[in-house]
Amino acid sequence: MEVSTAARVLVIEDAEAIGAAVSSALRDAGYQVQVRPDGRELEGDLVRFRPDLVVLDVMLPGRDGFTLLEVIRRASGAGVVMLTARDGVSDRLRGLDRGADDYVVKPFVLAELVARVSAVLRRLGRTPSTVQIGDLVVDADSAVVLRGDVSVDLTATELRLLRYLAAQRGRVVGKTQILTAVWGYEDYDPNLVEVHVSALRRKLEEHGPRLLHTVRGLGYVLRADET
């Protein structure tokens, strides 16, 4: 059994390329993501999707971000990170005064936006620290890894790698994605990934069936195969 506890993030952004990039970065970070080009369906999304956080552009067709922020604050306890090209202090203060949790100005680095989203979710207590895949339990906050009742001892790098793979559970991730997420760079030797994946797999399999699989030509996936 795989237990999905990923936080839900609603992205409201009318620029298709930006929305796609933000969505991809947040999914790579392990979040469930829904993207909208405007706020026409906001009220329904708050009920059906129940986002833990909304990434909200200010300059939108129809109702602008400040208007939508008021809707969110009336109907939901979701966190809000406002996203806009406006860099004036008055605009930032306006958003924060109306209840936004953070404010990111375009152009921005995706990694910074993801970090800010993660920080807001942590402050709100919306990011579960524990992920379970089969009999594997990964508690990111306490750095505890269990297979059944047995503790698995990992190095710091192996733990970072496992946290990332657990956040991506069920999804195939390539070596470049892993290098960027775990080591922070794309230009490391891909063999570095192979070495650490092999070491991690060996430790996990000392206490149970295989969970970390190689998908030839694509990368790796952490999943419990149902039998």
pLDDT above 90 coverage of the chain, percent: 50
Two structure tokens written together for 62: 């129809």
In 3D space, the residue among 121, 145, 141 whose CA is nearest the CA of residue 133 turns out to be 145
> Where does residue 134 fall: left (phi above 0), alpha (psi -120 to 50 degrees), or beta otherwise?
left
Q: Is the pLDDT of residue 88 over 70?
A: no
Partners of 128 in beta bridges: none
Rounded Cα distance, 52 and 33, in Å: 10
* Band (187; pLDDT cuts 50, 70, 90): low
Two structure tokens written together for 195: 């070495």
Q: Is 211 helix (H, G, I), strand (E, B) or coil?
A: coil
Question: What's the pLDDT score for residue 43?
Answer: 96
Q: Per-residue pLDDT averaged across 135-156, rounded?
A: 87
Question: What's the pLDDT score for residue 123?
Answer: 86
Query: Which residue type is seen at 150?
Result: V
* Band (2; pLDDT cuts 50, 70, 90): very low
Two structure tokens written together for 179: 């290098």
Highest mean pLDDT among 20-34, 47-61, 113-127: 47-61
Two structure tokens written together for 38: 């405007």
Distance of CA 156 to the CA centre of its chain: 20
Q: Is the pLDDT of residue 3 over 60?
A: no
Distance of CA 176 to the CA centre of its chain: 17
Rounded Cα distance, 36 and 68, in Å: 13
Question: What's the pLDDT score for residue 30?
Answer: 74
In 3D space, the residue among 185, 168, 165 whose CA is nearest the CA of residue 176 turns out to be 185
Rounded Cα distance, 69 and 102, in Å: 12
Q: Is 20 helix (H, G, I), strand (E, B) or coil?
A: helix
Which class for 32: exposed (0-12), middle (13-18), buried (19 or more C-beta within 10 A)?
A: middle
Are 173 and 222 spatial neighbours (Cβ–Cβ below 8 Å)?
Answer: no
* pTM beyond 0.75: no
* Band (169; pLDDT cuts 50, 70, 90): confident
CA atoms within 13 A on the CB side of 78: 30
